[in-house]
Amino acid sequence: MMNEWLSYLFGAVVAGAAVYAALSKHLVRIVFALLACLLGVAALYVLLMAELIAVAQLIVYIGGVLVVLLFAVLLTQRQDAEKTPHIHNRNPFLGSILSIALLGLLLYGISSLPSLPSTTAYPSLYELSAQLMSKHLLAFEIAGLLLTVALIGALYWIKKATTLPE
């Protein structure tokens, strides 16, 4: 019962932080809302007894990607931020209708899924890590290489954007 209430609480935190990040106009607040969202997702993983994925969420996304985003935002703040054009929503009614229709479609899809059996045997951490380092080693290395390339590309992009033309 307590696990169910915590799931609702962390789900609300994730949804609220995601909505705030989508609607906010300040980049630093968006990054911190993304932090709250990712922390809520990690907490949901813990509640689902997927501790390894929760730790990976904390290390990779919060410890790596989010810190790079925060530094990128703080180091590249433009001085002419008030001169940027303001984007207006042209048709908020249509956007609301489409969002509600998408929510209904998602809820219908989720409700039509068959329920899972309650006695699911989870692999131990040793078995999971053994499979990750043997059977799925190529996918693991490709994911690491992709993250490295993304970080190098972000650093190159930041360096290119901050250098002044001569």
Q: What is the mean pLDDT of residues 6-26?
A: 92
pLDDT given for residue 104 in this prediction: 92
Q: How does the average pLDDT of the chain come out, rounded?
A: 83
Lowest mean pLDDT among 45-54, 90-99, 155-164: 155-164
Q: What percent of the chain has pLDDT over 90?
A: 25
- Distance between CA atoms of residues 166 and 156, nearest Å: 19
The residues, any chain, with a CB within 8 Å of residue 74's CB and separated by 6 or more, are 28
Q: What is the mean pLDDT of residues 57-81?
A: 78
Kindly list the distances between the CA atom of residue 149 and the CA atoms of 71, 84, 142, 153, in Å, as whole numbers in the listed order. Answer: 18, 30, 10, 6
More confident of the two residues 65 and 87: 65
> Which residue type sits at 100?
I
Each residue of 72-125: pLDDT tens digit?
Answer: 877 776 655 555 556 666 777 888 899 899 999 988 888 887 876 666 677 777
pLDDT given for residue 140 in this prediction: 87
Secondary element (H or E) of residue 10: helix 2-23
Q: What is the mean pLDDT of residues 132-143?
A: 89
- Distance between CA atoms of residues 142 and 56, nearest Å: 16
Q: What is the mean pLDDT of residues 130-152?
A: 89
60-83 residues labelled b (16+ CB within 10 A) or e (exposed): ebbeebbeebbebeeeeeeeeeee
Are 151 and 68 spatial neighbours (Cβ–Cβ below 8 Å)?
A: yes
List the structure tokens of 24: 């906010």
pLDDT given for residue 101 in this prediction: 94
Compute the chain's Rg from CA coordinates.
20
pLDDT given for residue 66 in this prediction: 82
Q: Which 3 state secondary structure label does DSSP give 64?
A: helix
Are 74 and 30 spatial neighbours (Cβ–Cβ below 8 Å)?
A: no
> Which residue type sits at 14?
V
